[in-house]
């Protein structure tokens, strides 16, 4: 099978599994069954259909339903076997010397109810508990292996943003420009799928909208919405034609080998009104202060409150991160294999920043009837503050008419 390539090295996977086992032991969990596709990839380096059983100590067992031969190539784990049904899992675990766990961990934040009932029936003698928070906390701290891929993804994010001026034309529809940029991103190795954990949330590459269309709200947990191409999609670029002297929001994700870089830039064909230019500069000031303030040990909720206070003091409180009662109550989020990872820079959050977390910081102003300005970068938490992994110029790029 020549087309499959190995994923993370064995030492990387073993370190991740040891972190999970430590968390399991602290919680009194005898075994964990990893089901969700992104978590499965994180601990095994394959997304083929199957289950990973992690005992509280000792080697894990990867059980593959489809496709076994491919999973054997992609995953460096030593115990990879073929199974025909999840009903066989307890029998298989017994054959491999794993005792039935009194307490079994599952990812209950994402597990559908019918599957929960199925696993509860399969593991009749085990109490099922949630281990999703422990998994997400482990995934929040990136290894050097992960950071290298994230840096590459950020570099390619900048390359796609740099392509915008070449393709931007008056009268071109948002969705036509989006398609051209997405084609270019694919040619650079973008995986196409942008994974999100929150139920019902989905994203196709990102948001590219112009003028007032960018300020149209949507269901997505995002400060921007967009009209989209149909009510079913309900977000993102639509058939609005790009005009002059209006902000054009390029808010795209680059997903490389599973890992996500998220950033936004503003473009304009012709000069923008001073009101929009000033608002953008205010968001840049918030970003710069946050980069210095967001140190290891600082509460993610405190960072949110600091950013909101700055926006209010500069006169943008009413339009910061949305408009009205349903505006979003966060100013940044973790990124990694999913777009909505820990930590969340959100109201009431208590999680402390830690070195090697990776954040997408996105202070934005949404002005109904006028458009969106602001910035988003993917940043690494270091001992001295936030290091931006995306490096293309943050200022509005004004193109000639």
Nearest residue to 299 (alpha-carbon basis) of 331, 345, 252, 260:
345
**Burial (0-12, 13-18, 19+ Cβ within 10 Å), 42:** buried
- Quick one: average pLDDT of 145-158? 98
**CA 340, CA 322: separation in Å to the nearest integer?**
18
DSSP character for 370?
T
The model's pLDDT over 14-53, given as tens digits with 9 standing for 90+, comes to 999 999 999 999 999 999 999 999 999 999 999 999 999 9
End-to-end CA distance of the chain: 52
What pLDDT sits at residue 401? 87
Higher pLDDT, 326 or 142: 142
- Quick one: average pLDDT of 98-105? 96
Confidence of residue 4 (pLDDT cuts 50, 70, 90): low
What pLDDT sits at residue 216? 87
The model's pLDDT over 54-79, given as tens digits with 9 standing for 90+, comes to 999 999 999 999 999 999 999 999 99
The model's pLDDT over 323-333, given as tens digits with 9 standing for 90+, comes to 988 788 999 99
What pLDDT sits at residue 188? 98
Higher pLDDT, 224 or 242: 242
- Quick one: average pLDDT of 157-180? 97
What pLDDT sits at residue 6? 67
The model's pLDDT over 348-380, given as tens digits with 9 standing for 90+, comes to 999 999 999 999 999 999 999 999 999 999 999
CA dihedral in degrees (329, 181, 139, 137; nearest 10)?
A: 0
Q: Other CB atoms closer than 10 Å to residue 162's CB: what's the count?
A: 13
The model's pLDDT over 278-304, given as tens digits with 9 standing for 90+, comes to 999 999 999 999 999 999 999 999 999
What pLDDT sits at residue 265? 98
* 249 pLDDT more than 60: yes
Return the axis-axis angle of helices 174-187 and 144-167, rounded to nearest 10°: 140
- Quick one: average pLDDT of 379-401? 97
Round the average pLDDT of the chain to a whole number and report it: 96
* 3 pLDDT more than 60: no
Confidence of residue 89 (pLDDT cuts 50, 70, 90): very high
What pLDDT sits at residue 5? 64
Confidence of residue 220 (pLDDT cuts 50, 70, 90): confident
| Fold adopted by 10-139 | Creatine Amidinohydrolase; Chain A, domain 1 (3.40.350)
Q: Are the beta carbons of 357 and 378 closer than 8 angstroms?
A: no
What pLDDT sits at residue 125? 95
Higher pLDDT, 237 or 216: 237
Q: Residue ranges of the domains in the chain? A: 10-139, 141-399
Q: Distances in Å between the alpha carbon of 229 and those of 10, 178, 236, 287?
A: 44, 12, 8, 32
Percentage of the chain surpassing pLDDT 70? 99
Classified as helix, coil or strand, 252 is strand
What pLDDT sits at residue 221? 84
Nearest residue to 337 (alpha-carbon basis) of 154, 134, 196, 199:
196
CA dihedral in degrees (333, 337, 339, 341; nearest 10)?
A: -40
302's CB contacts (< 8 A; 6+ apart) are none
What pLDDT sits at residue 113? 97
What pLDDT sits at residue 225? 87
Q: Which CATH architecture has domain 141-399?
A: Alpha-Beta Complex (3.90)
What pLDDT sits at residue 1? 43
How is residue 277 written in tokens? 């230019």
How is residue 281 written in tokens? 């500069």
């Amino acid at each position: 099978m020549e087309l499959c390539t190995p994923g993370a090295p064995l030492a990387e996977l073993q370190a991740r599994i040891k972190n999970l086992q430590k968390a399991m032991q602290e919680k009194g969990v005898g075994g964990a069954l990893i089901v969700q596709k992104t978590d499965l990839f994180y601990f095994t380096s394959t997304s083929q259909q199957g289950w990973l059983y992690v005992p509280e100590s000792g080697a894990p067992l990867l059980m593959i339903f489809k496709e076994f031969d491919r999973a054997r190539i992609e995953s460096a784990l030593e115990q990879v076997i073929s199974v025909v049904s999840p009903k066989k899992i307890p029998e298989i675990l017994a054959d491999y010397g794993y005792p039935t766990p009194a307490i079994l961990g599952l990812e209950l934040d994402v597990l559908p109810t019918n599957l929960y009932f199925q696993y509860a029936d399969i593991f009749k003698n085990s109490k099922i508990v949630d281990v999703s928070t422990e998994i997400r906390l482990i995934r929040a701290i990136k290894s050097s292996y992960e950071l290298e891929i994230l840096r590459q993804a950020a570099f390619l994010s900048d390359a796609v943003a740099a392509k915008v001026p070449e393709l931007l034309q008056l009268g071109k529809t948002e969705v036509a420009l989006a398609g051209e940029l997405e084609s270019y991103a694919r040619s650079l190795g973008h995986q196409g799928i942008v994974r999100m954990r929150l139920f019902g949330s989905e994203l196709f590459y990102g948001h590219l909208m112009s003028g007032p269309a960018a300020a149209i709200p949507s269901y997505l947990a995002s400060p921007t919405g967009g009209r989209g191409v149909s009510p079913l999609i309900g977000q993102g670029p639509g058939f609005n034609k790009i005009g002059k002297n209006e902000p054009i929001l390029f808010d795209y994700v680059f997903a490389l080998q599973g890992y996500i870089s998220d950033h936004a830039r503003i473009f304009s064909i012709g000069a923008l009104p001073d009101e929009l230019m000033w608002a953008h500069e205010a968001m840049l000031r918030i970003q710069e202060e946050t980069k210095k303030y967001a140190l290891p040990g600082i509460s993610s909720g405190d960072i949110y409150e600091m950013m909101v206070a700055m926006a209010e003091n500069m006169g943008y409180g009413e339009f910061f991160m949305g408009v009205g009662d349903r505006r979003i109550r966060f100013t940044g989020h973790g990124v990694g294999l999913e777009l909505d990872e820990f930590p969340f820079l959100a109201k009431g959050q208590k999680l402390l920043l830690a070195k090697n977390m990776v954040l997408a910081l996105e202070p934005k102003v949404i002005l109904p009837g006028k458009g969106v300005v602001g910035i988003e970068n993917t940043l690494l938490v270091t001992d001295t503050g936030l290091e931006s992994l995306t490096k293309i110029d943050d200022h509005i790029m004004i193109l000639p008419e």
